[in-house]
Structure 1
């Protein structure tokens, strides 16, 4: 009798427990189905499958891990952050989950949240950038530090290389005379293409001093020197560049206005100086995609050759994309003109337009391959007085290389670069190949 009474009392509880176990098993089947959809590249379908279960299963590490992966892959970054934060609350030492959370924080541009993660997790988030080319398009002024603190970053770099044409001179020694019936012109030996090995040293700083949530002072300073061996040593040069300006940020937009200055010396003597202004507009669509546009006006001065003084005005735009696997790519276009300041110097001025593109691909945790390509067309303003033709140039440049990070803050970069300038003026038609290996220490 007592057994029958207890059986009657326990039966509802057993039925409820069985129902819960059945629901749990069904829910786990749904998680497995979502994971399978994710592996097949159907991220949105996986997210939509898990979404109705979140209110019931939030806090379950198995569910939260699957939900975070599906939401991130589907572009639902805020939902991914919520799921991954719940997973870390349950498993604080899960480094894989920490890296996953960092990726979602990067996707929404939350650099401060990324900086709160352990240093080893930060190092695992994105492979090292490919060098100055991608730095220029993606990382100028620490733009990823949205909403962050003041920062100052720098580097020193040493390298060696070989330059096949240090003076960008024509390879052939005989040029067709512009005067019909006269023999070709023969160039002096020092005017021919000169090759040589070289050593290079460079150092740079870039920083941002945050004034408040919108305004900050930004600046860069770079110095570089290159010394050639042998007969090419007369082409040793030194360059100094700097910018200083104000930046204003609001939501995804950033406006930057900077003053620029540049100094270039050849073989110990000042050859050229530049000064002007640069205006930039940066639009961050999210932590992975960014548009950048600029307007630049520079006064270019040649102290020993005032006839060559020009005003350079250029406008351009670029798009950069960081993919989820760590690869990145950029593309840009620009146009403008160099207008001579002296009367009658039209042949020295030109109109220009160009294209740029590049990318990087992680090969291993410490190795990245990169490539960039540039093409520029220049049309000059009048006939050259010696060759009686109007100069036009079509210049193409291709760079390929590897970036190796043997330790945090260190970068070793072997690079090969070829430049071909196809010019209507024989004296400026040339080809140049440069191979280099540089070692950089960042701090």
Structure 2
């Protein structure tokens, strides 16, 4: 089997860096771990040292060997933490710096990887290792030049149950009540990025989703199409994107809503594990009832981080408004503010648990002509589920969602639970 260029470079560099001198804190367990790693049993070496990490964390020899074993076993996040500790105590350790460059390269932080590898080479390492670093640096340059071009696609099927398909009011009002139904769906998406200059790429996507319900809820069968086209500019740890997005949806084969928006986004990667982004979006939503048409403006920011345990968390906040485009219906527009919190915890390479909380507050722009009160909605939702990868390119996701809207307008208060299982095939 032929290994990818990235994997070959990493394995070669690691092999050249295994021969390291013993220092005062060296002991038999480090010799054993190195021997296991050289014998191709890096996972066993990693487990041997991991059990002692709390006790010996901060010992540069221990952290270096732990980092080497973690790199070889594919635990790059753990390798980075261990090797950063080693360099804090022993900043002139060229081998630790080279291994850290290797780990950063593996997680995709090419800028930091190039810096670390260049510094390691300048500090002085064996000739063969220096040659391998040169090859790795050339590989990074090539990957960066090609990074602007990629294509991804998936198809997905879903089965589930929704206890409130129509978002009916919590308490029966004017004969309105929730409608429960099972549902099935099918969707796909194709997305791509094409390099058009050293730092510039064209980006785009196209997707569709169709959902069908039980006989008692056929009038809520839906279809949705969406597409986007834009450009991306990368400079170091920063990426700037601008894209036009359009979407169109139908319910019971009748037009339900169409819309477009232009989104500008700035993403700043603080390091391999932390990322910040901010965005601005302007657009328009159109409905068959023209009085409901609105111009929409949203501004937001988000922060994401991965921890040593490979736990990933994110938090975001946003605000905006919808302004009616027709006269005399200002009460249909509103101001909004919201936020999201989410996490994902992997367990090995085939299983991950995830959860999210979102909240949104909507204050409308005038009194409702029927209820003679200005509408105020408070909405919050919870979701939890699991990603399971039974085979390469396949993902099974059982998921639970809860959504509650509390409003001073009785017909706008609702509550729903959704259970579903989806199967996705990626290409």
Secondary structure (helix, strand or coil) at the match of 1:225 reads: strand
Cα displacement string for residues 317-368 of structure 1 (whole angstroms, at most 9, x for unaligned residues): 0011122333211100000000001111111000000010111112343211
Report how far residue 173 of structure 1 moved.
Answer: 2.0
The answer (yes or no) to whether the contact 1:106–1:287 under 8 Å persists in 2 is no
Aligned length, in residue pairs: 352
Partner of residue 254, structure 2: 269
Q: Distance in 2 between matches of 1:81 and 1:151?
A: 37
Unaligned runs of 5+ in 2: 1-20, 34-48, 72-77, 114-142
Cα displacement string for residues 117-169 of structure 1 (whole angstroms, at most 9, x for unaligned residues): xxxxxxxxxxxxxxxxxxxxxxxxxxxx8652510001000010000000111
Partner of residue 339, structure 2: 355
1:65 aligns with one of 64, 68, 73 = 68
Report how far residue 63 of structure 1 moved.
Answer: 9.1
Report how far residue 288 of structure 1 moved.
Answer: 1.3
Q: Distance in 2 between matches of 1:359 and 1:36?
A: 24
1:109 and 2:109 are equivalent in the alignment: yes
Partner of residue 26, structure 2: 28
Q: Distance in 2 between matches of 1:403 and 1:67?
A: 24
Partner of residue 75, structure 1: 84
- Mean alpha-carbon deviation: is it higher for 234-243 or for 347-356? 234-243
Report how far residue 254 of structure 1 moved.
Answer: 0.6
Q: Distance in 2 between matches of 1:81 and 1:326?
A: 26
Distance 1:441 1:66, change over 3 A: closer
Partner of residue 178, structure 2: 193
What does residue range 15-414 of structure 1 map to in structure 2 within 5 Å?
A: 24=22, 26=24, 28-29=26-27, 39-40=53-54, 43=57, 45-47=58-60, 65=68, 72-73=81-82, 75=84, 83=95, 103-107=103-107, 109-110=109-110, 148-174=147-173, 186-187=174-175, 191-302=176-287, 304-414=288-398
Report how far residue 84 of structure 1 moved.
Answer: 7.5
Distance 1:158 1:31, change over 3 A: same
The answer (yes or no) to whether the contact 2:150–2:194 under 8 Å persists in 1 is yes
Q: Distance in 1 between matches of 2:274 and 2:416?
A: 34
The answer (yes or no) to whether the contact 1:77–1:107 under 8 Å persists in 2 is no
Structure with the bigger RCO (C-alpha within 8 Å, sep 6+) is 1
Distance 1:335 1:405, change over 3 A: same
Partner of residue 411, structure 2: 427
Report how far residue 286 of structure 1 moved.
Answer: 1.5
Q: Distance in 2 between matches of 1:81 and 1:381?
A: 63
RMSD of aligned Cα (Å): 3.4
Secondary structure (helix, strand or coil) at the match of 1:200 reads: strand
The answer (yes or no) to whether the contact 2:148–2:200 under 8 Å persists in 1 is no
Report how far residue 71 of structure 1 moved.
Answer: 5.9
Report how far residue 292 of structure 1 moved.
Answer: 1.1
Distance 1:266 1:46, change over 3 A: same
